[in-house]
Amino acid sequence: MQQQKNIFVVLGVARSGTSAIVRGLKALGIDLGAHMTPGNEKWNAKGFFEDTDIVYNIHGAIFSALHFAPYGMQALSEAEQTDACLAPIREAAIQLLQNRFLKTDYWGFKDPSTVKLLAFWQSIFREMHIQENYIIALRNPLAMAESYQHVTGSDIEVGLLLWLMHLIPAVENTHGKKRIVINYERLLEHPDLQLERIRTTFALPELSDLTARETYTEDFLDKKLHRHARHDPDLVSHPAMGIAPLCTRVWHLLMKVATDALNFEHPVFQSEWQTILLELEQIKPVYDYLDRLLKNNHQLKKNLRDIHKSVLWKMLYPLRRVDSTFRKRRQAARLKKRLSKAYG
């Protein structure tokens, strides 16, 4: 009888501890493959632990085929994710999973964009009869937004909206699946406890050699890299929280799951979650509009960078300086004339 294959998918927005969590899966004996994107000092000094084939050959190909910009808040519909035009990419994804599972029964991956493609992946998991397991990364929304601002230059409000629009689909679209919420701050404080929560939740075999766990908890995790710590009172006092007050409710509810005070099936969780979904439905048109503005702004910045890199732009630099000087003089003269007319 063929052994059941298990897939472990880490879901969460960038800067929320997804890399630390997926590295923790490796310490529990879950294979991540050998095709990893390298880390960098700005984004993630210790590595992203993202499968390059997943990120570029699958996810990148899907976004390109559907002309979808993945860096915003909007998500692809289930119909788009299962469209016939993606058939070649779907076959490539199936082949990739078959290759990854050749020598293991436990394999995992993460990419913040995965939450926008869950319908695509889940249809493949069902077809291949792979057991789905989800780890939802949870970090204080304000801390995540400030960290995201640090590496991207985006406004804190943008980070808060991204946090919200990644966490809610991560929970809503894994209903009925095996899943756990791992809080990044608690992982840093008590890594052994969080690893054990993962192991017991998914009934992973206990490793006889604990060297991998010790290396992870003692050498890999580094509290010094946790530069943007925030606490619950900050979610009330910080002015940026006004753009997405729903973040606070989602944070408090999911923290109850992360601390095992509640589980996803508990009536209290279900009631509060339905209230959150209703509030999101009411405010979502505003978020969608903001998302379009952000994407338009992103495209305009890209166009401007392309212009500034062009040879013609550089050749016209002296003329632009002269034109700018004369324009400032004309503006000053017009202002002086208006003031003279108004008060003279």
Over residues 292-323, the pLDDT tens digits come to: 888 888 888 888 888 888 888 888 888 888 88
Averaged pLDDT, 268-283? 96
Whether the per-residue pLDDT at 219 is higher than 90: the answer is no
Which stretch, 167-171, 227-231, 295-299, has highest mean pLDDT? Answer: 167-171
What is the per-residue pLDDT for 41? 57
For residue range 95-134, list pLDDT tens digits in order.
Answer: 999 999 999 999 999 999 999 999 999 999 999 999 999 9
Mean pLDDT throughout 161-177?
96
Tell me the average pLDDT across 261-267: 97
pLDDT for res 181: 98
Quick one: DSSP state of residue 133? E
Higher pLDDT, 109 or 227: 109
> What tokens does 186 get?
């608690």
1 pLDDT higher than 60: no
Residue 2 has a pLDDT of 67
- Asked if residue 39 has pLDDT above 70, the reply is no
More confident residue, 212 or 21: 21
The answer to whether residues 221 and 20 touch, using CB atoms and an 8 Å cutoff, is: yes
DSSP state of 40: B
Average pLDDT over residues 47-60: 92
Average of per-residue pLDDT values in the chain = 91
**pLDDT tens-digit series, residues 139-157:** 999 999 999 999 889 999 9
Tell me the per-residue pLDDT of 55-100, one tens digit each, with 9 for 90 and over: 999 999 999 999 998 888 888 999 999 999 999 999 999 999 999 9
- What distance in Å separates the CA atoms of residue 124 and residue 111, rounded to the nearest whole number? 17
Sheet harboring 6-11: ordered strands across? 106-110, 6-11, 131-138, 178-183
Residues whose CB is less than 8 angstroms from the CB of residue 9 and which lie 6 or more positions away in sequence, other chains included: 108, 109, 110, 114, 121, 132, 133, 134, 135
Q: Does the pLDDT at position 24 exceed 80? A: yes
User: pTM for this one?
Assistant: 0.87
Cβ count near 152 (within 10 Å)? 15
Q: What DSSP line would sit under 55-115, residue for residue?
A: IIIIIIHHHHHTT--TTSS----HHHHT-GGGHHHHHHHHHHHHHHTSS-SEEEEE-GGGG
Q: How does residue 191 score in pLDDT terms, banded at 50, 70 and 90?
A: very high
3-state secondary structure of 179: strand
Task: State the DSSP string of 281-322.
Answer: HHHHHHHHHHHHHHHHHHHHHHHHHHHHHSHHHHHTHHHHHH
